[in-house]
Structure 1
Amino acid sequence: MVSYSLFKNTFLFSFILMAACGNSIQPKVDSQKSKIITENNSNTAAVTTPIKTGADNYNQYLPLLTNKKVGIVTNQTGVINQSDTSHSQTEHNYISIVDYLLEKKIDIKKIYAPEHGFRGTADAGELIKDGKDTKTGLPIISLYGNNKKPKPEQLQGIDILIFDLQDVGARFYTYISSLHYIMEACAEQNIPLIVLDRPNPNGGIVDGPILEKENTSFVGMHTIPVLHGMTIGEYAKMINGEKWLKNGVECKLTVIPCTNYKRDTFYSLPVKPSPNLPNDQSINLYASLCFFEGTNVSLGRGTNKQFQIYGSPLLPKEKFSFSFTPEPNEGAKEPPLKGKLCYGEDLSKAPKVKQLELKWLIKAYNGTEDKSKFFIPFFTKLAGTTKLQQQIESGMSEDDIRKTWETGLSSFKQTRKKYLIYTE
């Protein structure tokens, strides 16, 4: 997910903001405060009450950190709105939660970084090494690669752990997998965990095939649909409540909720959640287009329209008039189909999707001459089931495929209800 930004207002983060996934942010309104946008059919009305994330509700968790040795799981998305704090105003609107807590004399001992690293600039799947933050001098423990779960010695000396990452509501977005391992390690070491909740930019969309246990991986750890329609705080409650942690252990969990947030409100992220999700459109299309990662089709890595376009040299230009050529850039040092002219579709201006869409995947499959080379094994991990590939290869329509999800989705929604914090 690259450094090119498609946001309307672009400016560089300072080291204070630790602009990990590229250095652009996109305030949704002129005041640069996140605001509630309530969707009523085709009409959209702005409400002046700003959404406060769990991190912004610092008065609820600062007392829990007093005189404690603190560890924090975060990256460039862990920011606090400066205008809502006593921090002096600067040209930037947000401050890293790490810097904020240090200003408040909280004794932070270690930073734990997920996929893409503490600054969020690493490629998807890139090996991240342990290190030291150049600004604060704090040690950084990588929670990706071979060390997805903190070892006991890596948690030694920690009294309490904070988790503050911005999720996007998709099963294969690995921040919820990191959450699982953090909760498991905290439970085993008897360390309390505070999750600072953040809105789900894909709202309450619950859709897609349910993961089958035999297809469990780091891009799908739980028997949930592709789009789960929960915030990360609600999801943490579900992990505990459904006994998904190893040996049925339970984490001592505190969720600091958002305020002024409802599930049907639109939320524009102030910071890119990872390098290849540069704007609202890419986040909205992410779950639908991510399936192309399991095919021979590019979804725009190595361009400035990641997760907003798709294409392949094997798609006929007569039917797919849009073209692009992936080239190395930040977040995609070796993009799939690097240097090859791809034909496909540009969805950067497509209407917002309100479900998991299969139409582009099916269209690309049907348009490929040698269909035997279209899917690669990673597709099953993303889908969480072997059935979806089989259904597409057999020629099933999208409507018929969606009908096969209904029973699983109905069951999941009943389970999900027990853990919801916000209004549906």
Structure 2
Amino acid sequence: MALPGARARGWVRAANVAQRRRLSEDAGGTPSPAPGSQRAALYVHWPYCEKRCSYCNFNKYIPRGVDEAAMRRCLVTEAQTLLRLSGVQRVESVFFGGGTPSLASPRTVAAVLEAVAQATHLPVDSEVTLEANPTSAPGSRLAAFRAAGVNRLSIGLQSLDDAELQLLGRTHSASDALRTLAEARRLFPGRVSVDLLLGLPAQQVGPWLRQLQELLRRCDDHVSLYQLTLERGTALFAQVQQGALPAPDPELAAEMYQQGRAVLREAGFRQYEVSNFARNGALSTHNWTYWQCGQYLGVGPGAHGRFIPQGAGGHTREARIQTLEPDNWMKEVMLFGHGTRRRIRLGELELLEEVLAMGLRTDVGLTHQHWQQFEHQLTLWDVFGASEEVKVLLEQCLLLLDHRGLRCSWEGLAVLDSLLPILLSRLQEAWQQRPSSPVPGG
């Protein structure tokens, strides 16, 4: 068996060889940057977990045994196939999510990275993120992942209260979480993200803020705050429905969020997205691709992707969903090279709606230049400048529309969900009223 470090060196060698080949093929000796249609992020889904958490409805499975060698071969095959179909020439970032990808072996991570580097340009300094749970990521295992090519960790702490962790069905304690966090920061300094949930049943503002303050004494430069959503079909949903637990209080959750983001701002964190906070420039470049509506390839059971299948002669952006169940997905990959279950061509208006909804989640919002990459005819001023409803939101200082573009204010970012229906409705009206495109020669 190849050591993870050797596999990582294989990825670096593959990336360097591929880059030298492209340089020699370029007539001027300097490669031009790949256009947007030839760049993408890559998401790799590991579907297995040790235990299903009480609040989780993600596509994950609790297996009796995993044939990891078969899963590894299929992940590599599907990555190679989708890269070929997409015509992507440069992968900007790789994200191993799940499930619990820290249960996979470092060898699997290294094999995927090496395959990507051989198929396309994967810069050696690309962000490579692995999601990890504290109980599946002791220090020695984290070091092996680093040797395999991972350079950023996203740790699912969720809470620093043992009773809350038990309620959530987590397999770790608060002390486990802090121990893993300390080891992660030692191995990946400045590149460790932590998640914290808010709005749990019976959770109160004061104790939760004390958890956040404790976390700020221990954390790195990236924090994500997520409000608990009760999902139908989960154990927590059933407990609330049956009256065994009180329903989460949305007003208390809103107060936690508002106070939490203020605490983070005071601690030097930039709220660069609705749920994500970073300082010292430690933004997630992979997730930024999603919010900017860049292309991304989804590899693995149930993974989602958005790209133009140029290698298959396509010209329209598609939403792709891979087969959910791992065994069925593997059979399809072995037969066809990939396990895509659904392909949905996105219309022009659908894509603009996505650009609007995703872009406004960030503090940058939509710049005029960014909007024009997707829509050449209607400007942001055309769509939103004359709307009375939008004018009210501007007067309330929830939105800003100026020479930079359209974006939420600090106050508006917290209530984006209430703003989007108005903005999407206005976009749809403007789209229907737009002048028809000129016919060549007519």
Q: TM-score if structure 1 supplies the norm length? A: 0.28
Higher alpha-carbon Rg: 2
Relative to its length, the structure with more helix (as a share) is 2
User: Which structure has more RCO (C-alpha within 8 Å, separation ≥ 6)?
Assistant: 1
